[in-house]
Amino acid sequence: MEVALGLSTIKSGSAIAISGSKSETNRLLLLQALYPNIHIQNTSNSDDSEVMEAALSSTAETIDIHHAGTAMRFLTAYFAAQEGRTVVLTGSSRMKERPIQILVEALRQLGAQIEYTENEGFPPIKITGQKITASKVALQANVSSQYISALLLIASKLENGIEISLEGPLTSIPYINMTLALLHEMGIATAFEENTIKVEPSINKEPKTLTVESDWSSASYFYSIIALSEVGTTLKLSSFKKNSLQGDSALVSIYENFGVTSTFEGDTICLTKTYNAQPTTHNLQLNNTPDIAQTIAVTCLGLGLGCHLTGLHTLKIKETDRLEALRIELTKLGADVAVTDDTLILKATRTIHPNVNIETYNDHRMAMAFAPLALKAPIIIEDAEVVSKSYPNFWTDLKAIGFHISESH
């Protein structure tokens, strides 16, 4: 499906209800599989969460998780500790290019039995579930936080819990803290001191209902929309917490640079465009919030601002190489942009070429990050259905707030 967005203006005062966080949902679904007394409310309606839920309830010998990177990492750890169960985890062609070796080696340190069925270091993998009694494991701290969270999520069900030693500078700490906070909410004892994380064993849990906060990554596109709107424009988003577990809640402070003020009213945030940002180059370190890098780069282009974004090394192993994809698509629009393995540098420009076709590279965030530019110039998003990976209602919600959208198949 191709989506053409005409030059648009949003209806000030609109309200959007965003579904539960994919990150929180997938963590809680795994914990629910380990502790069936847990009940979860406001779960994400994303493809990734549906894939995760289906995989956890599957009795098949081969489980295909398609493009769902979080599911691949979390399920690798989950099945490694399912004594007596043998499973082959596979996925899309892109998933077979996304590394899993660091997590596999960490699990092997604990005594897990995992083999590669095609290419060394990459899915598919054959997992023969074991009773894991070893508890100490070391891995590099600058790897994807999902590797670390995968170990933490199964830790309380291991006979001796887990003690993870992280070597080197830490990255994506908010996602590790999110996992630990959810464990804490369930009454599981944890500790995170300097570069060591400990989780104590915990056999059974009393019945408990946990509510998933709405997804801040999904909220980022509306922050971009308000930033690109006229001064005085407002938009309400629900349901969010002022003291969020999600790293992407840093949007509140980051988008103040772009003239957007966030006001919390209960579980609703009111976004207001309060001023026009002065032409300058914004230097932002995003190692704790890499998923909003695409949104920020597009916002800066739309506002005629420059940006120097760093801490982006994990973007190269996402659904696509997001840095290279950004460079290609921003350049089509008239941007002067350069990337390295870790950074993106965008020079300020007032030029945005209209009616450019944006390729999405099977990456939901490419589709959604570029859509707000329709407030500045008409734009076409290819393979627009890819948004279902994290936000199936995205195009419907944009129409509801005033975007001019036509679809063709």
- Per-residue pLDDT tens for 77-100? 999 999 999 999 999 999 999 999
∠ CA 304-305-307, nearest 5°, is 145
- For the question of residue 291 being annotated catalytic, the response is yes
- Per-residue pLDDT tens for 240-274? 999 998 989 999 999 999 999 999 999 999 999 99
Q: pTM of the full predicted structure? A: 0.84
Higher pLDDT, 63 or 315: 63
Q: What CA–CA distance (Å, rounded) separates 64 from 90?
A: 5
Nearest residue to 74 via CA among 37, 92, 48, 93: 48
Question: What pLDDT score was predicted for residue 155?
Answer: 97
Q: What would the mean pLDDT of 385-389 be, rounded to a whole number? A: 94
State the greatest distance between any 2 C-alpha atoms of the chain, in Å, as a whole number.
62
Across 59-85, b (16+ Cβ under 10 Å) vs e yields eeeebbbebbbbbbbbbbbbbbbbeee
Nearest residue to 233 via CA among 66, 22, 113, 401: 401
- Per-residue pLDDT tens for 164-181? 999 988 877 888 999 999
**Residues of the chain with pLDDT > 90: what percent?**
88
Band of residue 317 on the pLDDT scale cut at 50, 70, 90: low
∠ CA 258-295-8, nearest 5°, is 75
Considering 291, 321, 363, 397, which one is annotated as catalytic?
291
Instruction: Give all strands of the β-sheet with 162-167 in edge-to-edge order.
Output: 136-140, 162-167, 196-199, 190-193
- Per-residue pLDDT tens for 206-225? 899 999 999 999 999 999 99
**Residues of the chain with pLDDT > 70: what percent?**
100
Q: What CA–CA distance (Å, rounded) separates 17 from 23?
A: 17
Q: What CA–CA distance (Å, rounded) separates 92 from 378?
A: 32
Residue 137 has phi, psi (to 5 degrees) of: -150, 145
